[in-house]
């Protein structure tokens, strides 16, 4: 173990990318491609070979904008409607315009997308209006392809380092970051002209129903550190009350996934075996319908494949049991469940933050810039809604390219050494504690309270109690104790989880209306209130452990959405009169 009072290792880079999952590798690669002379560091808590949401690949693109199937403008319109209008369209358009080129570039790198017999992309229609789903039955090799590109581009890869805080200059610019090694507890200070945050979703916010801390929907390495770092660096976060909640295989807690089975004819059904979902997209509206069916006596809810031909089920299994979450097959096998005759029981996941599936995150513009100069964010933690994997790739690329330009024009920013000392004290505290609280217990307690009080539907009084409980736990944090560097990483993750829990509570209380279906369904304010709340909610740190919240008007649309279009879409959702 490193001597805790040692000088930290120190490195000067041009661009520091934090998180080597999906967006991060593209950011680093594109920065190097823009200017090979730059020193680009890719810092990863795990190992970039197999890290993040796509560690073992993905089974499809949910939002491919392929010419002949959809246009960027159509995509922007639909994402706008699916998010109840509260979007920054410029950023969605920036993604949509590069979506197809990114697919082709990944294809060149050896990432495999489904093609028809003639070798053309086999895009499937799953949503009602547009056509955006491109399956990846052989999508298991994405990480290998990315890793090879990173090596060829000579990106400086640093594995098993967890970034804990950003450094900022006196005038508020990003100046670098501090990280700690999860095997040696070695401290690392990296100075950089630009920092790109790509640390993924906040996946360890709610507690899975199994009670297993690691049985999350998200890759559990994504503990919300990116949100916490952005917050403490002074960046604005947006719409954090728009939670991520997903329909998942019960107990297994992974996706089933309707986007895979859908084109084959599988669907989500109630206990009568009948479809009940009105909404097209994985969205808060859909989750609200899901929730009501579960509550309404027609639950449990299932994924239904038993009406499909055996040949078709085999095809679906070959995808579901091989890529993305390949242990799905193992799970069903353990229970003797067979898609051919058994419906798969589904349930509602724990809550999290993730723009990949909803609309929250660190605020970014169409260049992936946050509100802190020199600080970028991309992927699930950045605020571009419904971005998914391809969005992470594209916005990572956008961030990397823009940062490469930015660093040409600026010197390294100076930071106050006091920041390093304060962080050294915080980071090493758990190792110094002779007695104290084990990280897993503190984490369990926070996440159980998140379930008890924050899981929608949201109730004001419950939220107030939650804030009290969180404050009590905050007072416990100095007692966190770690026996080794691995536990130290877990202890520091607990800090991020608590930060995220408090942000989730504050943002939810601020928006006194209901919006985005189940994601922000407040029983005390059940109606959507466009007059007062057709806006983003921006959250920043007040520098004293609290938050400042404010409204940000929705920018004028670059792709107009006619009210008739909006209404037509909403009309689709009118349920049958019972």
Partner 1 sequence: MSFAENPSEFPVTIDAEKCIADKGCTVCVDVCPLDVLRINPETGKAHMRYDECWYCLPCALDCPTKAVTVAIPYLLR
Partner 2 sequence: MAGQGIFETLSADLAEIETRLASADPAERRVAIIELAESAEAAAQPMLIRALADPDADVRREAASGLDQFDGLETATALAGALLDPDADVAAAAASSLAELKSPGAAPPLLTLIVHERAEVRAAAWRGLRGLKVKPALAPAIEALKDVDPRVRREAVGVLAYLKNEAALPALIEAARDQDSDVRRAAISALAFAPGAVAAEAARGGLADEHWQVREAAAALSGKISIADAAPSLMLALDDAFWQVRGKAALALGKLASVEAIPALGALLSHSVSNLRKDAATALGDIRHPDALPFLDAVADDADPDVRKIARWSAHLIRSSAG
Ligand X SMILES: Cc1cc2nc3c(=O)[nH]c(=O)nc-3n(C[C@H](O)[C@H](O)[C@H](O)COP(=O)(O)OP(=O)(O)OC[C@H]3O[C@@H](n4cnc5c(N)ncnc54)[C@H](O)[C@@H]3O)c2cc1C
* Contact set with ligand X (CB under 6 A): 18-24, 43-46, 51-54, 58-62, 162-163, 198-200, 217-219, 221-222, 225, 254-255, 259, 324-325, 356, 379-380, 388-390, 392
The reply to whether 212 sits near partner 2 by the rule CB under 8 A is no
The reply to whether 117 sits near partner 2 by the rule CB under 8 A is yes
Q: What are phi and psi of 197, to 5 degrees?
A: -90, 125
The reply to whether 336 sits near partner 2 by the rule CB under 8 A is no
Query: Which residues lie across from 267 on neighbouring strands?
Result: 304
Q: How far is the CB of 489 from partner 1 (least distance, A)?
A: 8
User: 235: closest CA among 555, 509, 472, 548?
Assistant: 548
Q: How far is the CB of 182 from ligand X (least distance, A)?
A: 9
154 touches, from partner 2, partner 1, ligand X, none (C-beta below 5 to 8 Å by class)? partner 2
210 touches, from partner 2, ligand X, partner 1, none (C-beta below 5 to 8 Å by class)? partner 1
Nearer to partner 1, 335 or 550 (CB): 335
Report how far residue 31's alpha carbon sits from residue 196's, in angstroms, rounded to the nearest whole number: 11
Q: How many residues bind partner 2 (CB under 8 A)?
A: 44
213 touches, from partner 1, partner 2, ligand X, none (C-beta below 5 to 8 Å by class)? partner 1
The reply to whether 297 sits near partner 2 by the rule CB under 8 A is no
Nearer to partner 1, 130 or 203 (CB): 203
Q: What's the longest Cα–Cα distance across the chain?
A: 70
3-state SS string over 308-343?
CCHHHHHHHHHHHCCCCCCCHHHHHHHCCCCCCCCC
Which residues from 300-319 bind partner 2, rule CB under 8 A?
Answer: 307, 309, 311-312
225 touches, from partner 2, partner 1, ligand X, none (C-beta below 5 to 8 Å by class)? ligand X
Q: How far is the CB of 376 from partner 1 (least distance, A)?
A: 23
Nearer to ligand X, 248 or 450 (CB): 248
The reply to whether 178 sits near partner 2 by the rule CB under 8 A is no
Report how far residue 110's alpha carbon sits from residue 113's, in angstroms, rounded to the nearest whole number: 9
Distances 296 to 288, 291, 301, 350, 400 between C-alpha atoms, Å: 12, 8, 11, 20, 48
Element (H, E) at 578: none
Query: What does the per-residue mask of binding to partner 1 show for 197-236, with x meaning CB under 8 A?
Result: -------------xxxxxxx--xxx---------------
Q: How far is the CB of 499 from partner 2 (least distance, A)?
A: 27
Report how far residue 59's alpha carbon sits from residue 257's, in angstroms, rounded to the nearest whole number: 9
577 touches, from partner 2, ligand X, partner 1, none (C-beta below 5 to 8 Å by class)? partner 2
Tokens 């997209």 identify what position? 281
The reply to whether 148 sits near partner 1 by the rule CB under 8 A is no
The reply to whether 342 sits near partner 1 by the rule CB under 8 A is no
Q: How far is the CB of 193 from ligand X (least distance, A)?
A: 19
Report how far residue 77's alpha carbon sits from residue 79's, in angstroms, rounded to the nearest whole number: 6
Q: Is 570 helix (H, G, I), strand (E, B) or coil?
A: helix
Q: What are phi and psi of 138, to 5 degrees?
A: -115, 40
Report how far residue 344's alpha carbon sits from residue 5's, in angstroms, rounded to the nearest whole number: 54
The reply to whether 68 sits near partner 2 by the rule CB under 8 A is no
Part in contact with partner 1 (CB under 8 A); list of ranges 105-113, 247-255, 395-403, 471-479: 247-255
Nearer to partner 2, 277 or 381 (CB): 277
Report how far residue 562's alpha carbon sits from residue 473's, in angstroms, rounded to the nearest whole number: 48
Could you please report the per-residue DSSP string of 408-454? HH-PPPP--HHHHHHHHHHHHHHHH-SS-B-HHHHHHHHHHHIIIII
Q: How many CA atoms lie within 13 A of 203 on its CB side?
A: 20
Per the CB < 8 A criterion, the answer to whether 394 and 102 are in contact is yes
60 touches, from partner 2, ligand X, partner 1, none (C-beta below 5 to 8 Å by class)? ligand X
The reply to whether 412 sits near partner 2 by the rule CB under 8 A is no
Q: How far is the CB of 438 from partner 1 (least distance, A)?
A: 5
CA angle in degrees (0–180, nearest 5) for 571-272-206: 75
Structure tokens at 126: 């799953």
163 touches, from ligand X, partner 2, partner 1, none (C-beta below 5 to 8 Å by class)? ligand X
Report how far residue 347's alpha carbon sits from residue 351's, in angstroms, rounded to the nearest whole number: 13
Report how far residue 182's alpha carbon sits from residue 486's, in angstroms, rounded to the nearest whole number: 5
What are the start-end ranges of the H helices in 46-198? Answer: 72-82, 89-108, 142-152
Nearer to partner 1, 300 or 560 (CB): 300
Nearer to ligand X, 19 or 466 (CB): 19
Q: How far is the CB of 180 from partner 1 (least distance, A)?
A: 13
Per the CB < 8 A criterion, the answer to whether 55 and 22 are in contact is no
568 touches, from partner 1, partner 2, ligand X, none (C-beta below 5 to 8 Å by class)? partner 2
Q: How far is the CB of 260 from partner 1 (least distance, A)?
A: 17
Report how far residue 46's alpha carbon sits from residue 530's, in angstroms, rounded to the nearest whole number: 43
Other CB atoms within 10 A of residue 121 CB = 20
Query: Between the CA atoms of 53, 180, 168 and 233, what dihedral angle is there, to the nearest 10 degrees?
Result: 50
Report how far residue 104's alpha carbon sits from residue 98's, in angstroms, rounded to the nearest whole number: 10
252, 281, 353, 363: which one contacts partner 1 (CB under 8 A)? 252
Which residues from 419-448 bind partner 2, rule CB under 8 A?
Answer: none
Which residues from 122-161 bind partner 2, rule CB under 8 A?
Answer: 128, 147-148, 151-152, 154, 156-159, 161
Per the CB < 8 A criterion, the answer to whether 428 and 184 are in contact is no
160 touches, from partner 2, ligand X, partner 1, none (C-beta below 5 to 8 Å by class)? partner 1
* Residues found near partner 2 in the complex (CB under 8 A): 9-12, 41, 49, 108, 110, 116-119, 128, 147-148, 151-152, 154, 156-159, 161, 186, 188, 265, 267, 274-278, 307, 309, 311-312, 568, 571-577
* Residues found near partner 1 in the complex (CB under 8 A): 46-47, 49-52, 55-56, 140, 159-160, 182-183, 210-216, 219-221, 251-253, 325-327, 330-331, 334-335, 433-436, 438, 481, 483, 486, 489-490
């Amino acid at each position: 173990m490193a001597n805790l009072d040692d000088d930290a290792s120190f490195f000067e880079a041009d661009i520091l990318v934090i998180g080597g999952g999906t967006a991060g590798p593209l950011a680093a690669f594109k920065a190097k491609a823009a200017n090979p002379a730059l020193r680009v560091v890719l810092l990863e808590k795990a190992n970039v070979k197999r890290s993040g949401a796509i560690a073992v690949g993905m089974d499809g693109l949910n939002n491919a904008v392929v010419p002949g199937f959809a246009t960027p403008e159509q995509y922007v319109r639909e994402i706008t409607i699916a998010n109840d209008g509260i979007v920054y369209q410029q950023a969605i358009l920036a993604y949509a315009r590069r979506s197809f080129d990114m697919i082709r570039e990944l294809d060149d790198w050896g990432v495999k997308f489904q093609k028809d017999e003639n070798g053309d992309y086999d895009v499937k229609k799953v949503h009602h209006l547009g056509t955006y789903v491109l399956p990846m039955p052989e999508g298991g090799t994405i990480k290998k392809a990315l890793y090879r590109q990173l090596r060829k581009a000579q990106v400086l890869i640093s594995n098993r380092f967890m970034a804990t805080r950003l450094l900022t200059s006196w005038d508020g610019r990003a100046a670098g970051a501090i990280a700690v090694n999860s095997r040696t507890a070695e401290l690392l200070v990296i100075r950089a002209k630009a920092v790109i945050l790509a640390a993924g979703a906040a996946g360890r916010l709610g507690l899975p129903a199994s009670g297993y801390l690691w049985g999350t929907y998200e890759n559990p390495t994504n503990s919300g550190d990116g949100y916490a770092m952005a917050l403490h660096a002074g960046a604005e976060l947006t719409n954090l009350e728009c939670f991520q909640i997903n329909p998942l295989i019960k107990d297994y807690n992974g996706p089933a996934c309707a986007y895979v089975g859908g084109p084959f004819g599988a669907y989500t059904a109630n206990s009568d075996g009948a479809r009940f979902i009105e909404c097209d997209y994985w969205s808060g509206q859909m989750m609200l319908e899901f929730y009501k069916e579960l509550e309404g006596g027609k639950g449990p809810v299932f994924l239904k494949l038993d009406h499909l031909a055996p040949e078709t089920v085999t095809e679906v299994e070959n995808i579901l049991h091989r890529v993305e979450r390949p242990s799905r097959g193992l799970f069903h096998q353990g229970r003797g469940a067979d898609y051919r005759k058994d419906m798969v029981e589904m349930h509602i996941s724990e809550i999290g933050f993730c723009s990949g599936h909803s609309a929250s995150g660190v605020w970014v513009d169409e260049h992936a810039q946050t509100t802190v100069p020199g600080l970028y964010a991309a992927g699930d933690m950045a605020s571009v809604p419904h971005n998914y994997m391809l969005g992470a790739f594209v916005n990572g690329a956008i961030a990397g390219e823009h940062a490469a330009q930015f660093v040409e024009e600026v010197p390294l920013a100076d930071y106050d050494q006091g920041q390093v000392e304060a962080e050294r004290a915080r980071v090493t505290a758990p190792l110094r504690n002779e007695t104290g609280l084990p990280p897993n217990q503190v984490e369990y307690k926070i996440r159980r309270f998140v379930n008890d009080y924050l899981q929608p539907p949201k109730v004001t009084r419950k939220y107030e109690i939650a804030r009290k409980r969180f404050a009590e736990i905050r007072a416990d944090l100095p007692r966190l104790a770690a026996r080794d560097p691995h536990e130290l990483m877990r202890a520091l993750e607990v800090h991020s989880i608590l930060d995220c829990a408090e942000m989730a509570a504050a943002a939810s209380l601020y928006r006194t209306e209901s919006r985005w279906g189940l994601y922000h369904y407040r029983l005390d304010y059940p109606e959507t209130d466009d007059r007062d709340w057709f806006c983003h909610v921006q959250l920043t740190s007040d520098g004293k452990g609290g938050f400042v919240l404010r409204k940000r008007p929705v920018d004028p649309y670059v792709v107009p959405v006619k009210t008739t279009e909006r209404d037509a879409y909403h009309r689709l959702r009118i349920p049958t009169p019972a």
